[in-house]
A and B are shown apart, each in its own frame.
Chain A
């Protein structure tokens, strides 16, 4: 690949597996010959709060581990509201892949705030970028037997848009997930990849 740089943000809710997914994304970049940096926050923010990882691939050099607003090539939203929260970071040429999945924050359950409608979220994302893809990753993951597979399904969908063969992605997935879940993750990755294929050809 000869792209100068690719910036990704993986946004979701603590416990959804955004850290594993962004680790995979970072390692795939290294395998593909990029200089890679990645940043996230651990600790208190993991207890069901908003979490985001920045992953940056650069051809020659990457300085900041954090991506810049308006410059992100791919926003991966593991949850609808969290995708909307990071929309400002998406570049005009960027792509949003958003999981068709809602986790209601406490502020909404207590009646202090209203969770935006799906169409409202779609509009907000579309205002930033014309390339918005919705994937029913959690639904597919549940069918495969575990909702935590949603992250790898989204990576599968992303892989179709990036010029790196699925073999590279799968080898990294196999390296980073626990041995007994390798087969399941493989299946999930390919399910996401096929899903995106259908979307792209549609």
Chain B
């Protein structure tokens, strides 16, 4: 039976089919649904770890203990987990060990578009690169096998258009494995220091083994069915993999293809024998010229990044346009409509619609107040990053998870005239905020840290975290107390506010930022989407309203200005009442005056 599954669902299904017992992850678009889906299978253990490094170590531990295990994360999460990936490359695995990295070309929801294929080469581990959901399932199974066959962690890399596309997957074998999984017995931990204790004396020996392993994997890459040649005409050969393969098949239907399912290591033998079949080679790959550089390194003449961009995500439209412009694609095969209509947007720009903080979001209260106080805000990664957008414009640096606190400390040590504060969310604080906060205490810093605590990991779709009192698999859990945690780290000035209470928030913010001691403000209000809070919509009294537009500065999507007049969209308004507090003429109320 075939069923439409997203790439993420298929990765989870493949892990389950492979008999993975343990999965660990930190949520991050586009990877999040992998662990959510895996957690639902019978007989598995799955968890949200506080960050990707912890997730990777947890999976490594399970592998050492003899159970197949995997960790999943978004591409930038691999940066956090890299230290663990690199030691695991040396120790190898006991039972199959897989890391899933979901890349985000085009940066739909990320701060960069790093190409994870480089990590495979860097960490000296094999990488598989599925091109649809069926392959995502199959490659997960193969990844566990390769991991055990070659005693190495294996990375499975997806991209947004694999993770969040739904394609047909064969689900015939679902029932057969479920019983087998139920009766996992505890195993004896096998002690083997020379393999698992990476002190220099052992690690030196392991590095030699790693290099031997890579040689064997390169031979494997020449033979494996994961890579395949699809015969076509001999004029044009295309080297590609992942979702780019699908785009290229669509635009160059008659070409000969080398479709790489194994992104690393690459095989000289395979590349050379492919080159002999065709007159010209085009490499179609999103982001870095990873295959292209390899092909050039072994002496092949190829076209790649002189045809296609290094930045952004590909699409069939882009492949056709680039192919046409470079002359690789002949004119008669061109869909003229596509190219001639391409310039509409430039002639007639339409208003953009960027994402915004939701109506009723508690974060709004903090950013509006910070803007009023003209504070320099060192920001972080989460829904609240939208505080950087107009009209709030109240976040001035954003780098990566947890950077806010280290950066504010650096700014304050370097000394600036402005008031400063770090802003990060509850989940981001648990992820990477604890060590830098401790650093502020230890190194006698003075910075103010604001934890916007909406009681959930919101941006990725409401995942549990150490503060929510529940786990991924729905069990209740101890709630990590943010106030106590901050006090425990040595912060004496810790205060909790309701972000909707404007005058109090202004007072507390000012007092903390002007204070000569390090402090933490916890702005606590649960995510309105998560608790589904909705009060009656507010209305603007047009007799009282002077259309001054002050309320528009809070950046609430439900506040409209049409033909000079301000009104509230009752479909969007959730009745939080924040705009009531900023209106200088008391023109907004919950009374329905219609």
Q: Which A residues are closer than 8 A to B by beta carbons?
A: 13-14, 23, 26-27, 30, 35-50, 62-71, 81-82, 84-85, 87-88, 91-92, 103-116, 124, 128, 147
Cβ-defined contact, A43 with B341, below 8 A? no
Given contacts A42-B30, A68-B317, contact A36 B168 (CB under 8 A): yes
Q: How far is the CA of A110 from the CA of B592 in the complex (A)?
A: 25
Cβ-defined contact, B341 with A45, below 8 A? no
* Option from B243, B344, B562 in Cβ contact (under 8 Å) with A65: B243
* Option from B317, B350, B354 in Cβ contact (under 8 Å) with A84: B350
B358, CB-defined interface residue at 8 Å: yes
Interface string of B104-137 (1 = CB under 8 A from A): 0000110000000000000000000000100000
Cβ-defined contact, B356 with A48, below 8 A? yes
CB proximity of A33 to chain B, nearest CB, Å: 11
* Option from B29, B245, B247 in Cβ contact (under 8 Å) with A66: B247
Q: How far is the CA of A19 from the CA of B392 in the complex (A)?
A: 29
Given contacts A70-B335, A106-B390, A113-B351, contact A45 B108 (CB under 8 A): yes
Q: How far is the CA of A30 from the CA of B4 in the complex (A)?
A: 8
Cβ-defined contact, B552 with A110, below 8 A? yes
Given contacts A47-B355, A87-B344, contact A42 B461 (CB under 8 A): yes
Cβ-defined contact, B337 with A106, below 8 A? no
Cβ-defined contact, B383 with A81, below 8 A? no
Q: How far is the CA of A13 from the CA of B356 in the complex (A)?
A: 11
Q: How far is the CA of A164 from the CA of B537 in the complex (A)?
A: 41
Interchain residue pairs with CB less than 8 A apart (22): A37-B165, A37-B166, A39-B161, A41-B164, A42-B32, A43-B30, A43-B108, A45-B108, A47-B355, A47-B386, A48-B356, A63-B245, A64-B246, A69-B342, A71-B338, A104-B560, A106-B555, A109-B552, A109-B560, A109-B561, A112-B351, A114-B351
Chain B residues with CB under 8 Å of A91's CB are 337
Cβ-defined contact, B249 with A63, below 8 A? yes
Chain A residues with CB under 8 Å of B32's CB are 42
Interface residues on B, range: 35 or more
Cβ-defined contact, A64 with B250, below 8 A? yes
Cβ-defined contact, B161 with A65, below 8 A? yes
Cβ-defined contact, A47 with B357, below 8 A? yes
Chain A residues with CB under 8 Å of B335's CB are 68, 70-71
Cβ-defined contact, B341 with A105, below 8 A? no
B348, CB-defined interface residue at 8 Å: yes
Given contacts A37-B167, A48-B557, contact A68 B383 (CB under 8 A): no
CB proximity of B251 to chain A, nearest CB, Å: 8
Cβ-defined contact, B383 with A47, below 8 A? yes
